[in-house]
Structure 1
Amino acid sequence: GSKCDGGVAIGGDCLWFNEELKNWDDAVLACASRGQSLASPVDPVAVLEYAYRTYGNFYSGFWLGGSDVATEGTWVWQSGEPLGDRFPWDSKDFHDEPNNSNGNENCLEIRVAENRYNDIRCHDVKGYICEG
């Protein structure tokens, strides 16, 4: 079989969507236990479209591997690679993400039901997307 058996191939990445609810740190560990990491998709727009189409009623949302825990306002993947200026943060309306609401929103989620990316508190529990 292909190297993406059981996963979903999107934009050259092989992704596993997990609906088990965990906080961000525990999601990192869960992916690592499978020899994977939290997702850092090369095509975040396609990943968002797939998540919305496939999990549109999954209101908890999904973690990805992005955070600005190390340096507020500097968003990086687990690898240390920056998300970059072209990352499709939701800025279509009043949300204007990432907004660091309450001063402690340091982890990246897909708000599936709203079809957008968002910064949120890392201790919230969500589904998570592994990449491997």
Structure 2
Amino acid sequence: MLLLVLFLLVAQTATGVFGYSASAATWSYTTQTPKPSKCESPFVVLRARCVFVEPFLKSPWEESRYLCHELNSELVVVDDVQFYYDLLKFIRGEGIDHESYWIGANDTETEGKWVWVNGKAVESGSPFWAIGKEDYGSYYLEPAGQTSQNCLILEAERAHYFNDRDCIEEHATICEKHFQ
């Protein structure tokens, strides 16, 4: 019986959520608006966003952003841990995890102040940024590129953690657009 109660406390359906109020000793059912489940090709649904991962065309950051704009989208903003997990799972599941990918942030306006293309600040530290190791054995947390590395990638050599790179390097691209 206890397992049934626990199940019902967290049970979710595509159209609603069951809940229990201990103070009122009542059950409730709240409806939710279903999210669209389709994106225009070449985009795929990933955590309520339409995402396009382009592993074959390598370009500098600005050209990658232009590609996204041509697809009525923007370089992906990875500002949520669950979305980040789902994105990495998708890249690995598709077998395209051997590439580094430009994503939508830079610190070109103010060195050290990382900003997403939507204007929001990039979260620093774990779980997003890569850890580096000095030749003499100490560790540091990225970004560490100083003024020469101002654009953000998911770096393949670092298990797709964030790293700052020179914006003129050529990497693959990830675009996103939100459901309309």
CA distance in 2, matches of 1:44, 1:56: 14
Using the size of structure 1 for normalisation, the TM-score is: 0.83
Name the residue aligned to 1:109: 153
Unaligned ranges ≥5, structure 1: none
**Does residue 1:45 correspond to 2:81, yes or no?**
no
Using the size of structure 2 for normalisation, the TM-score is: 0.63
**Does residue 1:126 correspond to 2:171, yes or no?**
yes
The runs of 4+ residues in structure 1 deviating greater than 6 Å are none
Tell me the SS of whatever aligns to 1:30: helix
Question: Residue 97 of structure 1: CA displacement?
Answer: 1.0
CA distance in 2, matches of 1:52, 1:105: 26
Greater RCO structure (CA 8 Å; 6+ sep): 1
| Matched length | 129
Identity of aligned residues (%): 24
Unaligned ranges ≥5, structure 2: 1-35, 134-138
Greater radius of gyration (CA): 2
**Does residue 1:56 correspond to 2:97, yes or no?**
yes
Name the residue aligned to 2:39: 4
Name the residue aligned to 1:76: 115
CA deviation digits over 1:48-73, x for unaligned, max 9?
34324431223xx1100011111111
Indicate how the Cα distance of structure 1 residues 89 and 56 shifts in structure 2: closer, same or farther if over 3 A, else same.
same
Question: Residue 95 of structure 1: CA displacement?
Answer: 5.5
Tell me the SS of whatever aligns to 2:149: coil
CA deviation digits over 1:77-102, x for unaligned, max 9?
1111111246611137535211115x
Tell me the SS of whatever aligns to 2:53: strand
Q: What is the CA RMSD across the aligned residues, in angstroms?
A: 2.3
